Amino acid sequence: MSQSPPNGRPTPDPAELARLYADIAQKSGQLVTQFLERRASGAPLPFKDELGIARAFFEAWSKTLADPFRLAEAQIKLWQDYMTLWQNSMLKLMGQEAKPVAEPPTGDRRFRHEDWEQNFLYDYIKQSYLIASKHLHQTLANAQGLDDRTAKKVDFYTRQYIDALSPSNFLLTNPEALRETVASGGQNLVKGLNNLLEDLTRGNGGELRVKMTDTEAFRLGENIAVTAGKVVFQNDLFQLIQYEPLTEKVYARPLLIIPPWINKYYILDLREKNSFIRWAVGQGHTVFVVSWVNPDERLAHKSFDDYLVEGALAALDAVERATGEPGANVIGYCLGGTLLACTLGYLAAKKEKRIHSATFFVSMIDFAQPGELEVFIDEEQLAALEERMTRRGYLEGSEMATTFNMLRANDLIWSFVVNNYLLGKDPFPFDLLYWNSDSTRMPAAMHGFYLRNMYLKNRLRQPGGITLAGVPIDVRQVSVPAYFVSTIDDHIAPWKSTYAGAMLLTGPVRFVVGGSGHIAGIINPPAANKYCYWTNGALPDSPDEWLKSATQHPGSWWTDWVEWVARRSGEKVPARVPGKGKLKVIEDAPGTYARMRADKA
């Protein structure tokens, strides 16, 4: 621990410093070795512009410079704001009140420390940054003549650039970090360097994997993903978990949940008080959940067809064997919902009624407006991605994680840079961030098909646009009752896009919009009494018209859904115990597949 000399300033403990320096030296040597090994193996350096960012910005600046009048006008507005800031700062320096020229948006947590508001210098730095950010963003956004895809790419990466240059991300312009440096005698910087080297080491010398939470604080099946259940079936792609009943009677029709294979299923079972799985079991449903494998190069050949046949259809077969019921209600979450739509199209073509109701959690079927992920999807980027996946046999889980983190860079990247490296602190144990960091790989064949046919070419919305397992898929032939729930602030599956997908189905559809975003809006138990949701008995052509005439309700949409699905679940029967049917228990939930971590391979 630190020693306090007569002047009151802490003196670092020599033994602790020696240990930290030894760790730093060791990790630095490991990084150099890893880097050289990557080069010797022919692995590419992470500096190639596969995303086409440079070309997009070159085009944007060319268009901007081609309109000198508009550029001059923007420069004048910029200097006017700076002059106003200077005048107001002088007033504040003299002890007078002055209205801020620029303020952080609501919810921006970068400038929470009191010095950003009360200290003259840091308030000036903050406002100067916000002014420059606003004008840079507006100048590039006003570039004339850019195609829509290029304009979105420029907008997205401009925000990434602006976020990266926030004064809160640098030691000398972050008052909290400076105070910590003085208070600890600089030990925060030594610890921060050690944290940085640890994160670089986890990235195998070629990637910075910022640690978001204390990964040692959680154990699956012990303090996360704890709802009691048994694995009753498995194949190469998934394990099927059947959960133990919490009621004496259950609905006759079982409930199957198909989560995305981009993440682990236990987002639906983080802890007892917010577990959707446990809540559904408590409502009298026999719940089954697909727990996807974390694939490696041995499953490189697995295709989207396989995820349909060996995934969704195999799960339906297993549920029927376990319960004796000839059909099920099925929930698809995000990408799992896209697979559910494909499964429904397949069964419709086969004239098989095995799914009695379909629920779509934030799921897209029509990818015409796919949200901010669109900036990562074009022919050039897909070709480069397919080359990497072919070389390895899969898409590395960290690549997908980084992509999603960039959508909320200030919260999911830069806040941890400040906490871990500038303040020298360990990240706080947080179950949601543990799940977020528990990324999964994706087989090369499957993921390439998905990105090309869904995101790039939007073929699922076209009758017969894709063929799976030899069957042309036409979602317009799906007449199964469907419940769509989307969220108002979702940037991954925008609710207006999911609305367009819901309009493709021909059966009865209930469309609901919840508050918040892609995760928080779905994991919103009634007991939390948070957010709100909107319902509308009609489905007008325009999503804006739908929202305009919708009814707003307080709290969670879960209560609305449970009433809807109960009407499609049959009579009550004695509760089913896992292993008592034709499928025997393999192991306890959450199972082996859920415990496979991509960063421990």
pLDDT in tens, 392-406: 999 998 888 889 999
Q: Report the pLDDT value the prediction gives residue 40, as an integer from 0 to 100.
A: 53
Strands 532-535, 287-292: pairing kind: unpaired
Q: What residue has token string 């115990």?
A: 577
Average pLDDT over the chain, rounded to an integer: 92
Interatomic CA distance for residues 205 and 499, integer angstroms: 43
Ordered DSSP codes for 30-84: HHHHHHHHHHHTTPPPTTS-TT-HHHHHHHHHHHHHT-HHHHHHHHHHHHHHHHH
pTM for the predicted model, two decimal places: 0.90
- Residue located via tokens 């950003």: 116
* CA atoms of 126 and 359, how far apart (whole Å): 46
The span from the CA of 395 to the CA of 445, in Å, is 10
257 SS3 class: strand
261 Cβ neighbours under 8 A, 6+ residues apart:
292, 307, 335, 336, 440, 442
Closest to 258 in 3D by CA, of 205, 311, 209, 215: 311
Report how far residue 382's alpha carbon sits from residue 155's, in angstroms, rounded to the nearest whole number.
20
Q: Cis omega (within 30 of 0) on the bond before 590?
A: yes
- Give per-10-residue mean pLDDT for the chain (601 aa): 52 63 61 55 56 90 91 94 93 86 93 94 96 95 92 95 97 96 93 90 78 93 97 98 98 98 96 97 99 96 98 98 97 98 98 97 97 92 93 91 91 96 95 93 97 97 98 98 98 97 98 96 95 97 97 98 98 97 97 88 52
Which entry of 334, 423, 471, 596 is annotated as an active-site residue?
Answer: 334
Q: Terminal CA-to-CA distance of the chain, rounded, Å?
A: 36
Helix axes 187-202, 14-40, angle to 10 degrees: 30
- The H or E element spanning position 588 is strand 587-588
Is 532 a known active-site residue?
Answer: no
Task: Name residue 278's amino acid.
Answer: R
Please list, residue by residue across 20-38, b when 16 or more beta carbons sit within 10 angstroms of its beta carbon and e when fewer do.
beebbeebeeebeebbeeb
Domain parsing of the chain, residue ranges: 19-202, 229-377+438-600
pLDDT single digits (tens) 215-264: 899 999 999 999 999 999 999 999 999 999 999 999 999 999 999 999 99
CATH superfamily of 229-377+438-600: Alpha/Beta hydrolase fold, catalytic domain (3.40.50.1820)
